Amino acid sequence: MFEVSTTDAGSTDEVARHFIELEEPSDQRIDRFLSERFSLSRSRVAQLIDDGLVTVNGKRPKKRYPLRLGDRIDLVLPTPPPTRLEPENIAITVHYEDEHLAVIEKPAGLVVHPAPGHETGTLVNALLYHLDGLSTIGGDRRPGIVHRLDKDTSGLMLVAKRDKAHHRLSEALAQRKIQRGYVAAAWGHLEEEEFTLDRPIGRDLRDRKRMTVREGGRRAITHFKRLERWNAAELVAIRLKTGRTHQIRVHLLSIQHPVVCDPIYARRWDKGFGGAGGRWAENFARRAGRLFLHAAYLAFDHPETEKCLSFSCPLPEPLASAVDWARSTS
């Protein structure tokens, strides 16, 4: 793949122009390709296409246009106006920082970026306070955000501080070169100690707030390995090969072992065990107190130095104490 990027500041509105020529076959649609490569929402890409700011081989494509070998993409990306987001002193842990990127630990309960109903008090507000600059690729709502975690998920996230680093990290993510490992507690006992689920995930047609395994969804691959077995739950290590919305949670639900305390996919599961198992499950859920899903491991090649960087962080409270209790009662 060949890419040239330029900046045109000759007018009152500064823009960045990207020329990309596909030198390898691609099975992606133009909207998905640009969304992943430039960390743009699909609706943002659709708007750029409608505004004539995206051409393929000199012509405006349809949003679902399938890219082919040799296609030449011309993208004009208006530089977002200065962010109106305010820095907020919200506690986060910065595990690593240099002039290009940072690795941070997001606490559970923190929304990643502003959205309707969450205009303040987000991770982005915290990043603006704790870091000296963020990339502009994600626009004024998602500056620096290379990938996301659900609101109720804690753990490691990769943040870009420079646009060049953001481009390269987004490309590495799309090519599955960034390793992301999670730890979760799942209800019940898994049949196998180590296994992989390769099941497509799409929007639930009956409830648009949920995702589900269904025909016509996007391919999703998750690797699982049992770490510990307890009375009515197990501690599981998880590695993502793809990154679909709610992927871990939906895949575990699809085999009837949802994540402990999942408010969307595991309601009342702590009451779904009879006898002593039911009492144990209620006690464990009360001690966990939140979605038992933590992004515990992150590894990637630095976009500038190409040095492999890896990071890990232990389970936070109250999850760590819940594990101690589970071990002592199983």
pLDDT at 272 > cutoff 50: yes
pTM for the whole structure: 0.76
Question: Does 300 fall in a domain?
Answer: no
What average pLDDT does the chain have? Answer: 89
Which is more confident, 84 or 171? 171
**Domains of the chain: total:** 3
Tokens of 203: 């929007």
60 and 140 housed in the same domain: no
CATH number of the domain at 13, please: 3.10.290.10
Question: Does 130 fall in a domain?
Answer: yes
Q: Which of 31, 150, 152, 262 is catalytic?
A: 150
**pLDDT for the residue 11:** 43
Question: Does 302 fall in a domain?
Answer: no
- pLDDT band with cut points at 50, 70 and 90 for residue 115: confident
Question: Does 304 fall in a domain?
Answer: no
Q: Are 48 and 77 in contact (CB under 8 A)?
A: yes
193 and 165 housed in the same domain: no
Query: Where is the domain boundary, 78, 113, 134?
Result: 78
β-pair partners for 157: 104
Judged on CB neighbours under 10 Å (0-12, 13-18, 19+), 172 is: middle
Q: What is the pLDDT of residues 155-193, one digit of tens each?
A: 999 999 999 999 999 999 989 999 999 999 999 999 999
pLDDT at 274 > cutoff 80: no
Q: Are 315 and 296 in contact (CB under 8 A)?
A: yes
Question: Does 247 fall in a domain?
Answer: yes
Which region holds residue 59: left if phi is over 0, alpha if psi is between -120 and 50, else beta? beta
324 and 197 housed in the same domain: yes
- Residue whose tokens read 């076959």: 25
Helices and strands, counts by H and E, the chain? 7, 15
Which is more confident, 320 or 208? 320
Domain with 145 in it: 82-175
Does residue 51 have an active-site annotation? Answer: no
Query: Where is the domain boundary, 113, 141, 175?
Result: 175
7 and 97 housed in the same domain: no
Query: Where is the domain boundary, 175, 202, 223?
Result: 175
Q: Which residues contact 210 (CB under 8 A, 6 or more apart)?
A: 203, 204, 246, 264, 265
Nearest in space to 254 (alpha carbons), one of 294, 213, 314, 284:
213
Nearest in space to 122 (alpha carbons), one of 96, 99, 101, 140:
140
